Amino acid sequence: MEDTRKFHVKFALCGNLAVGKTSIRRNFMGLHFTRDHVSTLGADFSLKKMKIGQDQLNLQIWDMGGEDEYQQLRKKFFHGTRGALLVLSLVDRQSYLDLPNWLEELHENAPIDRTPVVFLGNKCDLDNSQYEVNRAEIKSFIEEYVSNHNLENLNYKYFETSAKDGINIDEAFYHLAEITLKFLDQDISSN
Ligand SMILES: Nc1nc2c(ncn2[C@@H]2O[C@H](COP(=O)(O)OP(=O)(O)OP(=O)(O)O)[C@@H](O)[C@H]2O)c(=O)[nH]1
Ligand SMILES: [Mg+2]
């Protein structure tokens, strides 16, 4: 039988204030949902082991505070990020409009051609009538970004999630972990 390979991998959860980053991390960690918004000060992190095929990923999940005033501080926390979960809230149009700023900030600190990103449209449990952004525009924004920057091999994907009801959270982390592992494999074979 093949030996289990172990990798230490850093993921970043980013996106505007109150889109649900901490709630998503908590759901992934098996913790209960809270209605209160306790804004993350600077950044916070969780550790979780994940099995992908034969491999074990020891994930460090960095959850960035969304406040503008933390931008300088976030730089430190982004360092060494191997994959990102970029979160918007479906009921907050500004969080969609600000996606380019987050991508710019991420890619100033992690190489654009080697850092896979998954996009999460969070709060999908809320009624459609409250949505301020639709799936088609999010998808076309992502497609355009991928094509403008030649990122087809990074397999960027969009998930609609609910941290409240636990919809698509595990799936999004699993997808990101799989893609990240491909790049880790390439790093090993090129060394
Ligand atoms: N209905 C619904 N509410 C959510 C969901 N996820 C988060 N919330 C609520 O949205 C608010 C903000 O959630 P947080 O997880 O603290 O957001 P955050 O992105 O970590 O915010 P900052 O740390 O301030 O940047 C809280 O009141 C949560 O209860 C969701 O999937 N559905
Ligand atoms: Mg938070």
CATH topology of domain 6-190: Rossmann fold (3.40.50)
14 vs 59, 77, 100, 172, CA distance in Å?
16, 11, 12, 14
Cα separation of 49 and 28, whole Å? 11
Query: Which residues line ion ligand 2, judged by CB < 5 Å?
Result: 21-22, 40
Cα separation of 179 and 117, whole Å? 9
Cα separation of 68 and 71, whole Å? 6
The pLDDT score that the predictor gives to residue 71 is: 85
Task: Say yes or no: CB of residue 124 within 6 Å of ligand 1.
Answer: no
Task: Say yes or no: CB of residue 182 within 6 Å of ligand 1.
Answer: no
Task: Say yes or no: CB of residue 83 within 6 Å of ligand 1.
Answer: no
Question: In this predicted model, what pLDDT tens digit does every residue of 142-173 receive, in sequence order?
Answer: 999 999 999 999 999 999 999 999 999 999 99
Q: If you measure from the C-alpha of residue 189 to the centroid of ligand 2, how many angstroms do you get, rounded to a whole number? A: 37
Where the chain has pLDDT below 50, the residues are none
Q: Structural domain boundaries of the chain?
A: 6-190
**Strand, helix or coil for residue 149:** coil
* Rg (alpha carbons) of the chain, rounded to whole number: 16
